[in-house]
Amino acid sequence: MTTQAHAPQEALGAADTAGLLDRQHRILELLAGGAGRGEVLGAVTLALEELIPGSRCSVLVLDQARGTLHHGAAPSLPAAYSAAIDGLAIGDDAGSCGTAAYLDEAVVAEDIAADARWDRFRTLALPHGLGSCWSSPIRGHDGVLGTFAVYHARPHRPDARERRLVARFTDLAAVALEHDRLYGALAESEERFRRAFEDNAVGMALTDLGGRFLKVNDALAAMVGHPAAALLAADLDTVLRPDDRLGARLLLRDLAAGTAPAEPLEVALVRGDGRTVEAALTASVVGGGQGRYVSLNVVDVTARRAAQRDRDARREAELAARVAEDASRAKSELLSTLSHELRTPLQAIIGFSEILGTLELPPARREAALGHIDAAARHVLDLVGDVLDLARIEARALPLAPGTVDLGPLVHEVLDLLEPVAARRGIRLGTDLPVTGGPAACADPRRVRQVLINLVTNGVRHNHVDGWVRVESAPDPDAPDPDAPDPDAPDPDAPDPDAAVLAVRDGGPGIPAALVPRLFEPFAQLDGADDAGTGLGLALVRGLAEAMAGTVTVDSTPGEGTTVTVRLPRAGSPDVAAPADPGVRSGRG
């Protein structure tokens, strides 16, 4: 007869309880002492056999991935039988144990000879003197762990006492298997960590929070040239260059406080032979049962740093070579341009001087020749002066005589000076500044005049026939808004709100955006200009403005014109007059 076992409700007698507690205590002592799984399971099965005379017990362990049962303990079963059922596939007709594991419920075969679930295994069990088998699933947190079986030589039906005892010992077997799984996984993890630590090519160490070495791998010992045993009697300071010790101590302090940075610490290790090794050190705090430790990873970056230095040196050498080539090319271009610029006026001087020396000219022609000589000489003088000024600016040796400059009178003076030149080209000059007063700048008057002459001359030169050039004054558009919510806390990077601003505007053809950055390069010239000039003007303008703590910016729209804005420091408490009609300047439109 075959039945399914159910949990009994009857209590054990006093003798059984005492025997159970005694055997349970011995089994738990085995677990606490670190006994192996086979030894503990063997003790469990033998203990139950002592309490159920005539029984032979076994434990099979389930391989959940494969669905097979494997030998755990069977001290009283025939070895041949245990070997034959090792690897038994579970199922609903796999004897008592295979069926119990498959159905996750106890299965009692009171008579193996008559139980259908033993059809495939009957000829295996009966010759070994096994007449009945009762098997219970051993359950753990993750499901069925295995089976606990009780065999008898003859057909047998378990009574309530036996059911109670088997339930208790099945629980003990579950504890043993869970313990084995837990500590087996822990031992496997510890072994993986040990191998990863000891065999790692990266230097590794465990230290206390003060930096004293507790464990060191061979890679780190080889890196610093000290035996691992010697390092265990030392601390991190002993392998660091003195200059790096403070940084390492601060890192350990921050680690303990939980504020350490994530990036590696660059250090130099001092080897036992005195040589240094450049290294990148990373550290993290790990917790343990006995406190907190520091895990160190140390990577030798000596070769990497040397390669980087080589690359940097090559890059610097290439850059220096390019700079030298650029300087040589700029020198050649300078000499070529200067030669061209000087040759034309010098040829005029020489030519007219020869005419004056060889021919008797009428007074009018003689005066004209002298005028050409004078103009050419002045051009040469201006060119030399511009080149010298640029050189002084580059050398930060430009002489300045700063003072208060009334921009209105100065602008009118410059426009009066250049009006004949502009008139010959049909260019109208104008300004919105008053003849007297106007904004006042703190600058060198002669240099401001030089800036204005260059800018207005450029506006005249690069313009349409019958075009216009205007010099205007306006508040600095980049200055902080005085009506802003917090006027007492302006942006420290914003331009000076008290700047004196002059804008030289023209209605010429404008400049393509791609060419604007080149305007301030010495000798840069606009293609297609009728009178290209020397190309020094804007470079000199910017240099002069910056020498006076000012700035120059260019805004140009092709087809509409160009605006060059000069900002200079405003003189203290300026007396700004009301601007004149923008269309009128001393009778000019």
Residue given tokens 């019958």 in the structure block: 466
Residue 576 or residue 470, greater confidence: 470
Residue given tokens 């230290």 in the structure block: 207
Structure tokens at 520: 């301030």
pLDDT of residue 165: 92
Q: What are the DSSP calls for 189-252, one per residue?
A: HHHHHHHHHHS-SSEEEEE-TT-BEEEE-HHHHHHHTS-HHHHTTSBGGGGB-HHHHHHHHHHH
pLDDT of residue 185: 66
Q: Which residues lie across from 139 on neighbouring strands? A: 144
Residue 260 has pLDDT above 80, yes or no: no
Which SS3 state, helix, strand or coil, does residue 588 take? Answer: strand
Check: CB of residue 510 under 8 Å from CB of residue 420. Answer: no
pLDDT of residue 394: 76
Q: Which long-range contacts (CB under 8 A, 24 or more apart) does 11-20 make?
A: 11/164, 12/161, 12/164, 12/165, 13/161, 16/51, 16/161, 16/164, 16/165, 19/50, 19/51, 20/51, 20/165, 20/168
Residue 528 or residue 497, greater confidence: 497
12-21, 83-92, 466-475, 477-486: segment of lowest average pLDDT = 477-486
Residue 330 or residue 177, greater confidence: 177
Residue given tokens 């313009």 in the structure block: 463
Structure tokens at 463: 């313009």
Amino acid in position 415: L
- Which pTM value belongs to this model? 0.41
Check: CB of residue 557 under 8 Å from CB of residue 563. Answer: no
Please give the domain boundaries of the chain with CATH numbers for all domains: 2-190 (3.30.450.40), 201-300 (3.30.450.20), 307-394 (1.10.287.130), 403-482+493-569 (3.30.565.10)
pLDDT of residue 340: 63
- In degrees, rounded to 5, the angle at the alpha carbon of residue 221 between the alpha carbons of residues 215 and 227 is 90
Residue 314 has pLDDT above 50, yes or no: yes
H or E element, residue 52 = none
Please give the Cα distance from 156 to 134 (Å, whole number): 9
Structure tokens at 224: 């610093």
pLDDT of residue 288: 60
Phi, psi (degrees; rounded to nearest 5) at 298? -125, 120
> pLDDT tens digit string along 218-255?
999 999 999 988 898 889 999 999 999 999 999 888 88
Binning pLDDT at 50, 70 and 90, where does residue 522 land? Answer: low
Q: How far apart, in Å, do the first and last CA atoms of the chain sit?
A: 127
Q: Which residues lie across from 503 on neighbouring strands? A: 472, 565
H or E element, residue 357 = helix 302-358
